[in-house]
C-alpha cells in the first residue's frame, strides 16, 4: 500500500437519489478514501448502490450531495485518468482484437507509433498474442474480458474502476483471471477500486475490503487484508488468515 498522504480517490458525504414515480435513495452519507496504488474492493447486498458509486467516481453518473475527488480534483465528468471495466466487454464485434485494443488510443488521437509498442506489450502480457486478427466472437469469455481490460490499460489510466468484471464467468475461469489481474496490477500498480459479490475474490485481491449497507448504501465497515504479496492461490488459500477474513466478511454480509 502506498503511504502518500493525499488519497487518489476521496468520497465525502455523497448522496444519490433516483427520481421518478417512486423516488429511490440509492446512496446516503458515503465516505471512503483510497490511497494511490491501493487495491480496494467493495462488497454489499444487491441493490445497495455499489455500481452507482463506481459510476459516480468514474464521472458517468451525477450525484446530489457531497464531494468526489480524484487526484485532488473534483469529479465533474469522465477523465482520461480513470479507466472503467464493466461486466460485459465493450469490444466492437466488427473489429479485430488488435483493432479493439487500439481503438481508445485512436479516438484520443494518440499517434500510432506511440500507441503500438504499448499495445504489443499488452497483447503479450494478457496472453492474446496470436489472436490479434480474431474477432471478439472467436474468443472465450475469459479472453474477451482480458481484451476488455487491455482496452482500458492501453490508455494508461492512473485509476482502474472495475464493476464485477468476472461476474459472468465460470468459477475456474474467474479464479484464473483473478491471478492474472493481480499480476497486471503488480506490474502496472494502478489504483484499483473493484465492485464484486464474491467475498473470496475480494479477500484474495485486496489491500482493504469495504462493506456497504443495504439501500440507501453507505460504507459501514472496513476490513484490512493482511496477507503477503505477491499472492498465489496455492499459498494464500492455505493461510489460516484467508479463511478467517472470509468468515468475518461473511458474517458482516449476513451470509451466516
- Please give the angle made by the CA atoms of 60, 74 and 208, to the nearest 5 degrees: 75
- Quick: pLDDT tens for 129-144: 889 899 989 988 888 8
Cell numbers representing residue 157 in the block: 489510466
pLDDT interval class at 3 (50, 70, 90): very low
**Tens digits of residue pLDDT in 133-173:** 999 899 888 888 888 888 888 888 899 999 988 877 778 87
For the entire predicted model, the pTM comes to: 0.90
Residue 1 above 50 pLDDT? no
| Chain-centroid distance, C-alpha 174 | 14
Higher-pLDDT residue of 157 and 35 is 35
What's the pLDDT band for 126 if we cut at 50, 70, 90? Answer: confident
Residue labelled with grid coordinates 454480509? 253
Task: Look at residue 9 in the predicted model and tell me its pLDDT.
Answer: 97
Over residues 6-25, the mean pLDDT reads 89
pLDDT at 4 > cutoff 70: no
How many CA within 13 A on the CB side of residue 109?
A: 0
Residue 107, pLDDT score? 80
Residue 73 vs residue 104, higher pLDDT: 73
SS3 breakdown of the chain: % helix, strand, coil, rounded to 5? 35, 25, 40
Report the alpha-carbon distance of residue 116 to residue 145 in Å, rounded: 21
Give residues with Cβ within 8 angstroms of 120, minimum separation 6: none
Give residue-wise pLDDT tens across range 82-117: 999 887 777 888 999 998 888 888 888 888 888 888
Look at residue 114 in the predicted model and tell me its pLDDT.
Answer: 82
User: Closest Cα partner for 51 from 195, 192, 166?
Assistant: 195
Q: What mean pLDDT do residues 228-247 have?
A: 91
Within 13 Å of residue 106, how many CA atoms lie on the same side as its CB?
Answer: 8
Q: Provide the mean pLDDT of the chain.
A: 88
At 2, list the grid cell. 502506498
> CA quadruple 162, 163, 164, 169: dihedral positive or negative?
negative
C-beta neighbour count of 74 within 10 angstroms: 10
Whether the per-residue pLDDT at 223 is higher than 60: the answer is: yes
- How large is the greatest C-alpha to C-alpha distance in the chain, in angstroms? 55
Q: Where are the alpha helices (H) located in the chain, listed in sequence order?
A: 50-57, 97-107, 112-125, 141-153, 171-188, 199-205, 233-236, 240-252
CATH superfamily of this structure's domain 37-59+78-209+221-252:
P-loop containing nucleotide triphosphate hydrolases (3.40.50.300)
Amino acid at each position: 500500500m502506498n503511504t502518500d498522504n493525499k488519497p487518489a480517490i476521496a468520497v465525502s458525504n455523497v448522496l444519490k437519489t433516483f427520481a421518478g414515480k417512486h423516488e429511490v435513495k440509492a446512496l446516503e452519507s458515503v465516505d471512503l478514501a483510497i490511497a494511490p496504488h491501493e487495491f480496494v474492493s467493495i462488497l454489499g447486498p444487491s441493490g445497495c448502490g455499489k455500481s452507482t458509486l463506481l459510476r459516480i467516481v468514474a464521472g458517468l453518473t451525477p450525484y446530489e450531495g457531497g464531494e468526489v475527488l480524484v487526484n485532488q480534483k473534483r469529479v465533474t465528468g469522465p477523465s482520461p485518468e480513470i479507466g472503467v471495466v464493466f461486466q460485459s466487454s465493450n469490444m466492437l464485434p466488427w473489429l479485430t482484437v488488435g483493432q479493439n485494443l487500439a481503438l481508445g488510443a485512436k479516438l484520443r488521437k494518440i499517434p500510432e507509433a506511440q500507441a503500438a509498442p504499448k499495445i504489443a506489450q499488452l497483447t503479450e502480457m494478457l496472453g492474446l498474442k496470436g489472436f490479434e486478427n480474431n474477432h471478439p466472437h472467436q474468443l472465450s469469455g475469459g479472453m474477451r474480458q482480458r481484451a476488455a481490460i487491455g482496452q482500458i490499460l492501453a490508455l494508461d489510466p492512473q485509476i482502474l474502476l472495475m464493476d464485477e468484471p468476472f461476474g459472468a464467468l465460470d468459477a475456474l475461469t474467474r479464479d484464473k483471471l483473478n491471478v492474472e489481474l493481480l499480476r497486471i496490477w503488480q506490474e502496472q500498480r494502478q489504483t484499483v477500486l473493484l465492485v464484486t459479490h464474491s467475498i473470496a475474490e475480494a479477500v484474495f485481491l485486496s489491500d482493504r475490503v469495504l462493506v456497504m449497507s443495504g439501500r440507501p448504501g453507505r460504507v459501514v465497515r472496513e476490513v484490512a487484508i493482511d496477507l503477503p504479496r505477491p499472492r498465489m492461490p496455492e499459498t494464500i488459500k492455505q493461510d489460516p488468515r484467508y479463511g478467517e477474513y472470509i468468515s468475518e466478511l461473511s458474517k458482516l454480509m449476513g451470509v451466516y
